[in-house]
């Protein structure tokens, strides 16, 4: 057997494999023996058909196809051994030639393990937003609590005004009469064209509303045409803000205690947001400093899994992929390209972080996982053992381990980074 190797890229080699003619003949003989045991030839018992007669009953292409099944696996395994290639995934095979009394030639494109050449990953300069929580932020959240716990009183004797809540039947133009849905909308919080059309109307009034589609670069969308019928006008009544309000809506003893709790929660959310932003910048800079190679099969497998998960979500919602593509204004090719791009980003980040973990001996212990599960179980008011069983049943354990390991790696990188606080006002 002859083998030559060609390096196509850092993570892919091409093996040109040629099997000797006598091996080919032995494989063909074996195929004919198999057929002799299974094919029915008039006048002969199975296994007793002379070869010349058997050849009349078996198509040559069928013989060659079965011979390939016998030839390729051992030839490929021997080619890997002779070339020293260590495959990362299954090869792509291409038949070159197969004829009687001649060598059998085929090609195997073999994916190799990813290669990561890390740049400097310690002392990376990175900015982290410092967002202060102001009294105004807290008061705005109290205002939202007011609105969430507000009541509505019917309005009679006048038309719709700004800030009114309108109960209306809303349907897209051209839909069946049974299609309108009943919704509550607050005037002043919708598209200007919608609010303007309803101002001055009363119960029983109908309006046709045209709302221009948001401008998207390179894609011109048709306007939204709605049919709106006013059923009822209501006025929002906000509850008074005092200690009793704090007890009812927030479980706090006093209004000041409620505001303090709101501030703590907002500070926690800001801390999570700014940390995630900073970590994203760190990973982006790491990728810029590093050189990575990985086989296409990694992306293909990742995209296939994303497609499977998307189909599962669509099945739950009773939608087909065609309906999803139409609703998102995408083609199947566009969707696949988007998924592949996201996959490459995930793979690149995972490879870099994994290499850092290897170099720095960062690992996840069983104690780390147990502590995290106990924390989640306490938050969900469940025994830790019961909650672990639930996570295992939902096949969440691997995802949890991956997330916890990533957190440890990012904690290491953050500790090593040169962080500059970037002051700015709250949003």
Q: What is the pLDDT of residue 359?
A: 95
Q: What is the pLDDT of residue 88?
A: 94
Q: What is the pLDDT of residue 250?
A: 83
Q: What is the pLDDT of residue 212?
A: 86
Q: Is residue 19 part of a domain?
A: yes
Q: What is the pLDDT of residue 225?
A: 87
**Residue 28 predicted with pLDDT over 70:** yes
Burial of 203 (0-12, 13-18, 19+ CB in 10 A): middle
Q: What is the pLDDT of residue 221?
A: 64
User: Which CATH number covers residue 55?
Assistant: 3.30.70.1050
> pLDDT band at residue 174, thresholds of 50, 70 and 90?
low
Q: Is residue 391 part of a domain?
A: no
Q: What is the pLDDT of residue 220?
A: 56
**Residue 203 predicted with pLDDT over 50:** yes
Residue where a domain terminates, one of 113, 143, 174: 113
Q: Which residues span the domain enclosing 176? A: 151-214+221-237
How many domains would you assign to the chain?
2
**Residue 261 predicted with pLDDT over 80:** yes
**Residue 177 predicted with pLDDT over 80:** no
Let me know: does 118 contact 356? Beta carbons within 8 Å: yes
Residue where a domain terminates, one of 180, 204, 237: 237
**Residue 111 predicted with pLDDT over 60:** yes
Q: Are residues 170 and 77 in the same domain?
A: no
Tokens of 17: 């494999």
Q: Are residues 89 and 25 in the same domain?
A: yes
Give pLDDT tens digits for 208-245.
999 887 765 445 567 888 999 999 999 999 999 999 99
Tokens of 404: 């916890």
CA distance 204 to 229: 6
Q: What is the pLDDT of residue 301?
A: 92
Q: Is residue 180 part of a domain?
A: yes
Q: Is residue 104 part of a domain?
A: yes
User: Which CATH number covers residue 162?
Assistant: 3.10.50.30
Q: Is residue 319 part of a domain?
A: no
Give pLDDT tens digits for 115-166.
999 999 999 999 999 999 999 999 999 999 998 999 999 999 999 999 999 9
Residues in the chain: 427
CA distance 280 to 284: 6
Q: Is residue 260 part of a domain?
A: no
Q: Which residues lie below 8 Å from residue 180, measured CB to CB, with a gap of 6+? A: 169, 170, 171, 227, 229
Tokens of 302: 């990742």
Give pLDDT tens digits for 347-377.
999 999 999 999 999 999 999 999 999 999 9
**Residue 98 predicted with pLDDT over 60:** yes
Q: Are residues 172 and 72 in the same domain?
A: no
Q: What is the pLDDT of residue 425?
A: 53
> pLDDT band at residue 427, thresholds of 50, 70 and 90?
very low
Q: Are residues 93 and 18 in the same domain?
A: yes
Q: What is the mean pLDDT of residues 55-72?
A: 92
Q: What is the pLDDT of residue 173?
A: 76
Q: Are residues 109 and 165 in the same domain?
A: no
Q: What is the pLDDT of residue 123?
A: 94
Q: What is the pLDDT of residue 426?
A: 46
CA distance 291 to 118: 7
Q: What is the pLDDT of residue 339?
A: 94
> pLDDT band at residue 326, thresholds of 50, 70 and 90?
confident
Residue where a domain terminates, one of 188, 204, 237: 237
Question: What is the pTM assigned to this prediction?
Answer: 0.73
Q: Which residues lie below 8 Å from residue 356, measured CB to CB, with a gap of 6+? A: 118, 121, 286, 362, 409, 412, 413
Average pLDDT, the chain: 91
Q: Are residues 16 and 98 in the same domain?
A: yes
Q: What is the pLDDT of residue 179?
A: 66
CA distance 398 to 93: 33
Q: What is the mean pLDDT of residues 195-213?
A: 92
Instruction: Specify the higher pLDDT residue, 260 or 424.
Output: 260
Q: Is residue 120 part of a domain?
A: no
Q: Are residues 100 and 157 in the same domain?
A: no
Q: What is the mean pLDDT of residues 55-73?
A: 92
The residue with tokens 């009943």 is 182
């Amino acid at each position: 057997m002859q083998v030559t190797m060609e390096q196509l890229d850092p993570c892919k080699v091409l093996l040109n494999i040629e099997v000797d003619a006598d091996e080919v003949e032995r494989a063909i003989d074996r195929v004919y023996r198999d057929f002799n045991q299974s094919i029915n030839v008039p006048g002969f018992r199975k296994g007793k058909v002379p070869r010349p007669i058997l050849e009349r009953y078996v198509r040559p292409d069928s013989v060659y196809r079965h011979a390939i099944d016998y030839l390729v696996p051992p030839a490929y395994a021997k080619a890997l051994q002779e070339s020293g290639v260590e495959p990362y995934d299954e090869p792509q095979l291409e038949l070159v030639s197969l004829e009687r009394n001649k060598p059998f030639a085929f090609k195997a494109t073999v994916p190799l393990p990813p290669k990561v050449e890390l740049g400097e990953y310690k002392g990376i300069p990175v900015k982290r937003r410092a967002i202060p929580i102001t009294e105004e932020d807290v008061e705005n959240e109290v205002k939202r609590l007011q609105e969430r716990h507000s009541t509505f009183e019917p309005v009679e004797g006048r038309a719709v005004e700004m800030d009114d809540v309108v109960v209306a039947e809303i349907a897209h133009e051209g839909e069946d009469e049974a299609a309108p849905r009943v919704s509550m909308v607050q005037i002043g919080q919708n598209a200007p064209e919608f609010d303007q059309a309803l101002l001055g109307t009363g119960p029983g009034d109908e309006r046709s509303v045209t709302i221009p589609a948001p401008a998207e670069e390179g894609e011109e969308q048709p306007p939204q045409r709605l049919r709106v019928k006013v059923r009822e006008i209501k006025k929002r009544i906000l509850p008074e803000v005092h200690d009793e309000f704090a007890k009812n809506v927030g479980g706090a003893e006093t209004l000041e205690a409620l505001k303090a709790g709101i501030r703590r929660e907002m500070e926690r959310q800001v801390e999570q947001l700014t940390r995630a932003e900073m970590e994203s910048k760190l990973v982006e800079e790491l990728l810029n400093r590093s050189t990575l190679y990985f086989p296409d099969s990694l992306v293909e497998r990742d995209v296939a899994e994303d497609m499977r998960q998307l189909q599962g979500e669509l099945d739950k919602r009773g939608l087909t992929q065609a309906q999803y593509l139409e609703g998102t204004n995408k083609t199947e090719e566009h969707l696949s390209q988007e998924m592949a791009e996201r996959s490459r980003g995930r793979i690149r980040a995972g490879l870099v972080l994994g290499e850092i973990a290897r170099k720095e001996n960062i690992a996840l212990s069983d104690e780390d996982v147990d502590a995290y599960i106990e924390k989640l179980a306490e938050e969900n008011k469940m025994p830790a053992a019961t909650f672990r069983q639930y996570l295992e049943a939902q096949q969440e354990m691997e995802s949890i381990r991956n997330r916890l390991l990533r957190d440890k790696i990012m904690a290491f990188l953050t500790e090593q980074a040169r962080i500059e606080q970037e002051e700015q006002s709250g949003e």
